[in-house]
Amino acid sequence: DIQMTQSPSTLSASVGDRVTITCRASQSISSWLAWYQQKSGKAPKLLIYKASSLESGVPSRFSGSGSGTEFTLTISSLQPDDFATYYCQQYDSYSLTFGGGTKVEIK
């Protein structure tokens, strides 16, 4: 199975900061990588698919990049609504796997 490793596991940042989260795959997954945002007690929300495609309705401050085994999610200017946990997910094979998550906290 493909393993996904996210870093950092926790990130403290202020409103307006540029934030970057990294996700590494244990083998190449081409661009079959998604990013989700999850708030406490809620279902995850799709932000980015195919590594860099922005889901409809998601603010443009979110962007994704990478291919192969290294991927990043960037929030260009952190907003109060963005404090949440973020997960990457590979879908190269149907044994879908998630990263361990990155909690973005208020500094």
Partner 1 sequence: EVQLLESGGGLVQPGGSLRLSCAASGFTCSIYAMSWVRQAPGKGLEWVSGISGSGGNTYYADSVKGRFTVSRDDSKNTLYLQMSSLRAEDTAVYYCAKSRGTTTVVTDYWGQGTLVTVSS
Q: Does 64 bind partner 1 (CB under 8 A)?
A: no
DSSP string, 45-104: EEEEETTTEEPTT--TTEEEEEETTEEEEEESS--GGG-SEEEEEE-SSSS-EE---EEE
Site for partner 1 in 69-88 (CB under 8 A): 87
> Which residue shows structure tokens 């997954």?
29
Q: Among 8, 50, 79, 107, which residue sits at the site for partner 1 (rule: CB under 8 A)?
A: 50
Q: Binder to partner 1 among 16, 43, 60, 80 (CB under 8 A)?
A: 43
The residues of the shown chain that bind partner 1, judged by CB under 8 A, are 1, 32, 34, 36, 38, 43-46, 49-50, 55, 87, 89, 91, 94-101
